[in-house]
Amino acid sequence: SYVLTQPPSVSVAPGKTATITCGGENIGRKNVHWYQQKPGQAPVVAISYDSGRPSGIPERFSGSNSGNTATLTISRVEAGDEADYYCQVWDTGSFVSFGGGTKLTVL
């Protein structure tokens, strides 16, 4: 199976920039999708196809993907951004893989 590695937690002060990484072998060759999940809620797509931002997602959210690391960046972090974030790829071998998730804490 294709393994995706995320840091368990990231902490950031309000107004600062949060960076959440997703590591995988040659992940830069795949399309990476990011989901935001707030407590008690279903996940929502935050970023699709590496850097696409669905309607309703603030411009503060951006994504990049190269080499062995994909990155979700949240600028000017707000208290409402506090959530769990998951990366996901589709791979012909394992079909769908999720990262273990990163808990974003806004200090």
d(CA 19, CA 15): 13
Show contacts with other proteins in window 9-68 (CB under 8 A). 30-31, 33, 35, 37, 42-45, 48-49, 54
**CA-angle at 18, arms to 38 and 20, nearest 5°:** 75
d(CA 59, CA 68): 25
The encoded tokens of residue 105 equal 């804490």
The residue (of 19 and 49) whose beta carbon lies closer to other proteins is 49
The encoded tokens of residue 6 equal 């995320």
Distance of closest approach, residue 16 Cβ to other proteins, in angstroms: 25
Question: Applying CB under 8 A, which of residues 5, 23, 69, 98 lies at the interface with other proteins?
Answer: 98
Residues that bind other proteins (CB under 8 A): 1, 30-31, 33, 35, 37, 42-45, 48-49, 54, 84, 86, 88-90, 95-101
